[in-house]
């Protein structure tokens, strides 16, 4: 099949979703108020609470949520066939991710930009906050550890990407200073930054940087050296005011999405690439079944609980107008869905020229999992080559895109983990952590750093080769709790919660089923690390189902009384 056909179909559905469904959510479900004073104005502090142009905020929000996961998940899931993968990406983005991301942002804004964990306490129950803190601490630990391993692997495999990746930091700081001090538009400086970034690729190809000598002297792997460097960077970056580095770098990276999608789409048109992978793959008998594991493998790119952490952790503190939530939240979900679409196309049409070649890359689930990221990089390089760019440049370009997104997610993830550590410390009354940002950030950094450096798990490392299997289930469980908070909030305001309840029930069902399947497999394989972790997450899932059911029943029963109203925030 010509690859352009599913592109037009999926993007057309995304357009209709934003044009009509997000408008329905804004008016009839969430009830956006253009006069509502958002926390970015009422609680403005110049560090976390900063009123931000919706286009700049979209750049931060999108690049924070669109890390390596919406590339890796779809690139692995096509093992079952590109048809089921694209179907879940399309429907999940429009009817689950859009509802989840949009709603998380709105509810947080209406409650003084509180995190989704605090919202669970206020809206669902006191126990729900404890539940959520347990889930998101585990999720963020996995996110930060796994993405560090992914970036480390890519930097080792693509030494030409090192210079452009690290030059992006001073570029972003310079752009941030210029925008902040001149109060000018961010569009032109960001475009200049992207151009300089891609010029730096040429420099990187001439001067590739390897840490092999340092790794040899220390007696560790190259990846381990990069992982330590990455966490040292995030320790510093996550404590800076958002306008110094996070916002301008995110805005630069948001342009990379459109450039990468443009390269892929134009490359498909010019090269008239065809999808050579089967619509539904005849997988080996011992391979995991796509139902329900497809819905866990593709978390980011269809619906992701991590987005609620970003929406309620950083984005809600920067939203200038409540009506901007539709653009930032729902459009951000569509952006990640588009990236997932690009990942599917890259590994089914761009990276391979024949079905036989594709079958070798996806001969088993483990082979597909191990080569997913590199398959994407080579696929984008193939599309770029259709446009006349050399394969070598296209490969580094694709690696820079993936690393940029993953590094941004790490930065945001460590920042969010610091918030979680402080919330936990406040709950158990460990005052040094609640008051000392550096100490809380150190905790947020050291735990995933240790996890990423643990031995085992084969060539991909302990974090990526072993714990990745639990990332999807934890992520979807987080999304389920966020949707439960949103559903209760909507119900209490006498609005129709069906748009929220449908994805909520679907996610909890699929997550619980997948946990049971994995639990049985882990026990049979005597995986005594994975099995206990799976049991813990399963218990949390059941706990979540009970809490959500009780809260929804109470909210529905109270619909006959006067609906709750948020106290307006006053200008400070």
Write down the residue that tokens 């590199």 correspond to.
Answer: 374
Helices 290-297, 468-492: axis angle to 10 degrees equals: 80
pLDDT at 191: 87
Instruction: Report the distance separating Cα 314 and Cα 418, nearest Å.
Output: 12
User: Does residue 181 lie in a domain region?
Assistant: yes
| Helix (H) or strand (E) segment spanning residue 410 | helix 391-428
106 lies in which domain range? 4-560
Which among 121, 486, 506 is positioned nearest to 325, based on CA atoms?
486
What does the pLDDT profile of the chain (572 residues) look like in tens digits?
A: 899 999 999 999 999 999 999 999 999 999 999 999 999 999 999 878 999 999 889 877 887 787 778 998 999 999 999 999 999 999 999 999 999 999 999 999 999 999 887 888 888 888 888 887 888 888 888 889 888 988 998 899 899 999 999 999 999 999 888 887 887 777 788 888 999 999 999 999 999 999 999 999 999 999 999 999 999 999 998 888 877 887 788 778 878 878 988 899 899 989 989 999 999 999 998 888 898 899 999 998 999 998 998 899 889 999 999 999 999 999 999 989 998 999 999 999 998 889 999 999 999 888 888 788 889 999 999 999 999 999 999 999 999 998 988 888 788 889 889 988 988 888 888 888 888 899 999 999 999 998 888 765 554 455 555 666 788 888 999 999 899 999 999 999 999 999 999 999 999 999 999 999 989 988 987 877 778 888 988 998 898 889 889 999 988 888 755 555 555 554 43
426: which 2 tokens? Answer: 């406040």
With CA atoms as reference, report the closest residue to 551 among 491, 504, 476.
491
Helix (H, G, I), strand (E, B) or coil at 2: strand
250: domain CATH number is 1.20.1740.10
Who contacts 140 (Cβ-Cβ below 8 Å, separation ≥6)?
306, 309, 413, 416, 417, 420, 444, 448
The predicted model scores a pTM of: 0.87
Rg of the chain in Å (alpha carbons): 22
Q: Is residue 281 included in any domain, yes or no?
A: yes
Cβ proximity of 438 and 239 under 8 Å: yes
- 256: tokens are 């990379």
Structural domain includes residue 275: yes
Contacts 24+ apart (CB under 8 A), 6-10: 6/82, 6/86, 6/275, 6/341, 6/345, 7/265, 7/268, 7/341, 7/345, 10/86, 10/89, 10/90, 10/337, 10/341
Q: What is the pLDDT of residue 566?
A: 57
| Tally of structural domains, the chain | 1
Using an 8 Å Cβ cutoff, are 186 and 55 in contact?
A: yes
pLDDT at residue 413, rounded to an integer: 83
Is residue 571 situated within a structural domain? no
Q: Give Dmax (Cα) for the chain.
A: 71
- The answer as to whether 77 is a domain residue is yes
Q: How far apart are CA 105 and CA 496, in angstroms?
A: 18
The full DSSP string for 109-145 is: HTTTT--HHHHIIIII-HHHHHHHHHHHHHHHHHHHH
Is residue 137 one of the residues assigned to a domain? yes
In a domain, 239, yes or no: yes
Please check whether residue 530 lies inside any domain of the structure: yes
Cβ(404)–Cβ(380) below 8 Å: no
pLDDT at 460: 47
Q: What is the distance, to the nearest Å, from the Cα of residue 414 to the centroid of all Cα atoms in its chain? A: 13
Closest CA to 248 of 312, 151, 342, 182: 182
């Amino acid at each position: 099949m010509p690859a352009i056909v599913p592109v037009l179909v999926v993007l057309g559905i995304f357009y209709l979703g934003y044009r009509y469904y997000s408008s329905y959510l804004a008016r009839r479900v969430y009830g956006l108020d253009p006069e509502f004073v958002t926390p970015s104005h009422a609680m403005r502090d110049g560090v976390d609470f900063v009123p931000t142009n919706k286009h700049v905020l979209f750049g931060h929000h999108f690049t924070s949520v669109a890390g390596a996961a919406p590339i890796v998940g779809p690139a692995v899931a096509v093992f079952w066939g590109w048809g089921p993968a694209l179907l879940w990406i399309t429907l999940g983005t429009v009817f689950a991710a859009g509802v989840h991301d949009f709603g998380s942002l709105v509810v947080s804004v209406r409650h003084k930009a509180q995190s989704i964990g605090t919202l669970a306490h206020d809206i669902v129950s006191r126990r729900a906050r404890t539940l959520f803190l347990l889930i998101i601490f585990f999720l963020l630990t996995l996110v930060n550890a796994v993405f560090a391993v992914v970036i480390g692997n890519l930097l080792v495999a693509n030494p030409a990407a090192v210079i452009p990746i690290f030059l992006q930091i001073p570029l972003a700081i310079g752009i941030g200073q210029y925008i902040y001090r001149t109060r000018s538009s961010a569009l032109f400086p960001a475009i200049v930054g992207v151009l300089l970034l891609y010029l730096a690729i040429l420099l990187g190809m001439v001067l590739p940087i390897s840490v092999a000598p340092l790794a040899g002297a220390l007696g560790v792997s190259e990846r381990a050296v990069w992982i330590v460097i990455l966490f040292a960077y995030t320790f510093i970056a996550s404590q800076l005011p958002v306008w110094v580095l996070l916002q301008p770098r995110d805005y630069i990276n948001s342009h990379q999405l459109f450039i990468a999608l443009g390269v892929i789409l134009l490359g498909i048109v010019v090269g008239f690439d065809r999808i050579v992978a089967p619509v539904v793959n005849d997988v080996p008998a011992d391979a995991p079944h796509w139902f329900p594991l497809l819905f866990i493998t593709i978390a980011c790119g269809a619906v992701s609980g991590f987005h609620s952490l970003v929406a309620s952790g950083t984005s809600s503190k920067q939203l200038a107008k409540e009506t901007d939530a539709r653009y930032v939240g729902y459009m951000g979900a569509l952006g990640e869905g588009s990236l997932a679409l690009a990942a599917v196309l890259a590994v089914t049409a761009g990276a391979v020229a024949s079905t036989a070649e594709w079958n070798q890359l996806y001969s088993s689930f483990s082979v597909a999992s191990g080569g997913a990221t590199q398959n994407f990089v080579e696929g984008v390089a193939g599309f770029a080559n259709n446009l006349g760019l050399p394969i070598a440049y296209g490969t580094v370009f694709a690696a820079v895109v993936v690393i940029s997104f993953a590094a941004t997610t790490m930065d945001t993830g460590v920042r969010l983990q610091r918030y979680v550590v402080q919330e936990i410390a406040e709950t158990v009354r460990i005052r040094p952590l609640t008051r000392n940002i550096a100490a809380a950030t150190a905790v947020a950094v050291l735990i995933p750093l240790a996890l990423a450096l643990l031995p085992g798990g084969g060539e991909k490392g302990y974090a990526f080769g072993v714990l990745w299997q639990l990332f999807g289930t934890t992520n979807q469980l987080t999304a389920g709790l966020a949707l439960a908070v949103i559903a209760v909030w909507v119900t209490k305001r006498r609005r129709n919660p069906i748009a929220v309840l449908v994805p909520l029930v679907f996610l909890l069902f699929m997550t619980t089923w997948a946990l049971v399947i994995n639990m049985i497999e882990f026990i049979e394989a005597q995986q005594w690390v994975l099995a206990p972790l799976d049991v813990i997450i399963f218990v949390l899932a059941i706990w979540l189902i009970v809490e959500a059911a009780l809260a929804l029943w109470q909210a529905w029963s109270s619909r006959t009384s006067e609906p709750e109203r948020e106290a307006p925030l006053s200008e400070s």
